[in-house]
Structure 1
Amino acid sequence: MAGFSLLGVEGWLVRQCAQMGIGKPTSVQENCIPAILRGQDCLGCAKTGSGKTLAFVLPILQKLAEDPYGIFCLVLTPTRELACQIAEQFCVLGKPLGVKDAVIIGGMNIVQQALKLSRKPHVVIATPGRLADHLRSDSSFSLKNIKFLVLDEADRLLEEGDTDFSEDLQEIFKAIPAQRQTLLFSATLTDTLNELRDLTLNKPFFWESKEPVRTVDELDQRYILVPDQVKDAYLVHLIQRLQDEHEDWPVIVFTNTCKKCQILNMMLRKMNFPSVALHSLMHQQQRLATLAKFKSSIFKILIATDVAARGLDIPVVQVVINHNTPNLPKTYIHRVGRTARAGRKGMAITIVTQYDIHLVQVIEEKINTKLKEYPTSEKEVLKIATQVNVARRECEIKLEETDFGEKREINKRKNLIRQGKDPDEEMKKRRT
């Protein structure tokens, strides 16, 4: 308990940590908390499961206690689920202060969110798109007096990609004061973050874990080399084996598209495996309900896209299965970081086809670890291969009868309109 006190954390916060079973600070907390309390900007880079969230929540709450007002702090995250999780940390640790928060994310009632913002909560935790929407359409609140801006999973927020946050971030940065403390945290250091490191902002403090490995020692990292046409049969065989040997082990299966996620979930349910799905085409209430059911062990199998790969702390997860080999090492790092957290043991198994071997080699080089082969029975797999392929095809046909694909197109059009672009013109460009 003296550990946090030595960092300058006040007694009431140390007691709150103790109630949560947190007694000893991690490396990222030891290094970043004193710098933040000194008033410095901070860029902290450490492996998943190392306690980065607490590294900014504790000093922010301590500073808030000195002069409590709203809106004191803005936290931006790339995913809705991560926003909800960070809000929980602020509420639990800030209970003695009576901390008020507002979670501003897509998929929830925008009018109710506007009402929350108008009541000046102490902390706003938001995804960039929805907060930018409020700034464009709602004048009942102001971010002009914030003391802290936090970018969690900063590499994902600042890099261009399929979900480009740049326009929304520009809108947000225009609305916040230049005089503030800016805190950036990530598990993966990118060129974008390196550029920010070089900016002389507010006595910037940079801390990166010295360990070259981006995955924890407690993680047992495996692979299964399979022919592409029986990939799903190997997945079913693997889940069956894990359930036979460890009935109470919760498992996350990651895949790379919403459609695959939905089909795999339907297929596993058809084969009597109690699973739930989590992807971005689900309504937000469904997503939150899915996470709650998995966290409380009502369901032991979660099929998810990378919306679940970033920052989520689900202590119960024992195994992560990569149904597809990630294209980028950092995606692999974030996915497998959902297990073996806070000193616990865990296992990650990646299903690798003949087309993915080069991707595995890049991942191994980045994490400085060789993946070991996970033993499977080809004979047992071939017994179920036909049954699995038939079940998958039936699920694909069933999904095609719904409006699943249309929802994706509607969401794409909405995003383009929000960016001030003509959806029809953009679609023409893509076709030419």
Structure 2
Amino acid sequence: MSDFSSLGLSDWLIQQCKQMGISKPTQVQENCMPPILEGRDCMGCAKTGSGKTAAFVLPVLQKLSEDPYGIFCLVLTPTRELAYQIAEQFRVLGKPMGLRDCIIVGGMDMITQALELSKKPHVVVATPGRLADHIRSSDTFSIKKIQFLILDEADRLLEQGCTDFTKDLEVILAAVPVKRQTLLFSATLTDTLQELKGIAMNKPFFWESKVRTVEELDQRYILTPEKVKDAYLVHLIQKFQDEHDDWSIMIFTNTCNVFKILIATDVASRGLDIPTVQVVINHNTPGLPKIYIHRVGRTARAGRHGVSITLVTQYDIHLVHSIEGQIQAKLKEYPVEEKEVLKILTQVNVARRECEIVQIPILFIHRYFCCEYVAVG
């Protein structure tokens, strides 16, 4: 493996990486940073937790340090949570050069954001909807001279059928210069990105990781009848809490809600880097392999180990086969004592029915554990 200096990275950035505990480039950094530094457009597709953000942050900062001025880089991302994480990496790595960043996302005061944009920050990290609103309503800033346009989680931003994203992107693309470097990064390669590779970019460098999930991730499944799936979920939570009381768990389901547990919809499956998540449980088997990849990528990040467990019913076997084909690996069965699950089955069913009767919009887990909860997604 190369080191950062052999990739052409400046000494001051190498020192910043060391201070963050980053001593060696990951595969996506090793392959994508040199062409970006050469001025080429780039499309990088790599597993979650593989260092994709630093793969574009580092070369952008190096180019900016050579000629700092105005709004130099625009990063678009689908969620506000990811926008804050990207901005933080720019802020930490770019501290020696006095980097000024600006986060433009929904839920914040537009007048305050407009004032920040008018001060010409070096880097703007934005969700498309809010930035498009500013472009439509304000003439106090311009992105006509940006050097970099970056789409992170590009497959989500460019997904067909997402009409709101499409309209907002049209507004933004009309406001940026034609002559620029365009960088696209994602964990999954969709048909939309394949088409874009040959159409919308200027002969881009393309790199795709052959590995969809990290080696440190122990990927498991539990085959369970649909009617007792909830009891298996509660049993798993009990088991992990009893054996590892300092572990955190993230549960993906079709609805959302916590007991040192983050229960989330697919809104949370992209980009979130929560270092202490040791376990991901899929309450439902994802209908698309790319959704599975994004979900399980919330654990085993940056070299850490993690476990993912998918509850598979008799109706989901074909979905598991599709996932295994995409990740090029077989999910292993997770051992469960069925008699232990049956012990709590009645209690779980009663708790669920009580919640349904009073129309409490949370999972039965809250009733079962008698705990406080928060809703995510």
TM-score, reference length from structure 2: 0.92
Corresponding residue of 1:375: 335
Partners of 1:150 and 1:87 in 2: CA distance: 13
State the secondary structure of the residue aligned to 1:343: coil
TM-aligned CA distance change 1:357 to 1:138, over 3 Å: same
Distance in 2, Cα, partners of 1:386 & 1:261:
23
How big is each residue's C-alpha offset from its partner over 1:167-193, in whole Å with a ceiling of 9 and x where there is no partner? 110011011000100000111111111
Q: Distance in 1 between matches of 2:250 and 2:43?
A: 30
Q: Which runs of 5+ in 2 are unaligned?
A: 363-377
State how far apart, in whole Å, the 2-side matches of 1:130 and 1:398 are: 37
2:352 counterpart of 1:352:
no
Whole-angstrom distance in 2 between the partners of 1:14 and 1:170? 37
Deviation at 1:155, TM superposition (A): 0.8
Q: Which amino acid aligns with 1:7?
A: L
Please say which of residues 243-252 and 53-62 is displaced more in the overlay.
243-252
Q: Deviation per CA, 1:333-355, whole angstroms, max 9, x where unpaired?
A: 01111111222221110011111
Q: In the alignment, is residue 187 of structure 1 matched against residue 187 of structure 2?
A: yes
What amino acid is the match of 2:256? Answer: C
Distance 1:250 1:335 in 2: 15
Look up the SS of the partner of 2:277 in the other structure: coil
Q: Are the structure 2 counterparts of residues 84 and 397 from structure 1 closer, same or farther at C-alpha, using a change threshold of 3 Å?
A: farther
C-alpha deviation, 1:163, in angstroms: 6.9
Report sequence identity in percent. Answer: 73
Deviation, 1:400, is 5.4
Deviation string, structure 1 residues 195-214 (Cα, Å, up to 9, x no partner): 122137444211112x2x31
Structure 1: which 4+ aligned runs deviate by more than 6 Å? none
Equivalent AA in structure 2 for residue 22 of structure 1: I
- Between the aligned partners of 2:353 and 2:64, the Cα distance in structure 1 is 55
State the Cα distance separating 1:133 from its structure 2 match: 1.1
Displacement after TM superposition at 1:330 (Å): 0.3
Task: For 1:20 and 1:301, locate their aligned partners in 2 and report how far apart those are by CA, in whole Å.
Answer: 28
| C-alpha distance 19-365 of structure 1, shift in aligned 2 (>3 A) | same
Is 1:233 aligned to 2:193, yes or no? no
> Equivalent residue for 1:412?
none
> Are 2:238 and 1:244 equivalent residues in the alignment?
no
Corresponding position of 2:175: 175
- Counterpart code for 1:326: P
Q: Which residue of 1 aligns with 2:368?
A: none
Q: Which has the higher helix share?
A: 1
Matched AA of 1:80: R
CA drift of 1:225 comes to 1.3
Map 1:42-191; keep pairs closer than 5 Å: 42-161=42-161, 164-191=164-191
Partner Cα distance (2:361, 2:267) in 1? 25
Distance in 1 between residues matched to 2:62 and 2:233, nearest whole Å: 47
CA distance in 2, matches of 1:400, 1:341: 34
Using the TM superposition, give the Cα deviation of residue 361 of structure 1 relative to its aligned residue in structure 2, in angstroms. Answer: 1.1
Q: Deviations over 1:106-127 (max 9, x none)?
A: 1222222122112111111111
Rounded to whole Å, the distance in 1 between the matches of 2:17 and 2:351 is 48
The change in CA–CA distance for 1:60 and 1:251 in structure 2 (over 3 A counts) is: same
Q: CA RMSD in A?
A: 1.9
- SS of the equivalent of 2:230 reads helix
SS for the counterpart of 1:3 is: coil
Equivalent residue letter for 1:89: Q
Does residue 325 in structure 1 map to residue 285 in structure 2? yes
SS in 2 for 1:165: helix
Determine the C-alpha separation between the residues in 1 that align with 2:82 and 2:151: 12
* Equivalent-residue separation in structure 1 for 2:65 and 2:281 (angstroms): 43
* Cα displacement string for residues 214-268 of structure 1 (whole angstroms, at most 9, x for unaligned residues): 1112111111111222222111110110111111111111113xxx213xx4xxx
| TM-score, with length taken from structure 1 | 0.80
Is 2:41–2:201's contact at 8 Å kept on the other side of the alignment?
yes
- Taking the aligned partners of 1:15 and 1:161, their CA distance within structure 2 comes to 44
- Within 1, Cα distance between the matches of 2:352 and 2:117? 45
8 Å Cα contact 2:2/2:25 also seen in 1: no
The count of corresponding residues between Structure 1 and Structure 2 is 362
Q: Which residue of 2 aligns with 1:4?
A: 4
Matched residue type, 1:379: K
Aligned position for 2:217: 219
- Give the AA of the match of 1:336: V
Counterpart of 1:126, as a letter, is A
What SS does the aligned partner of 1:50 have?
coil
Whether 1:13 aligns to 2:8 is no
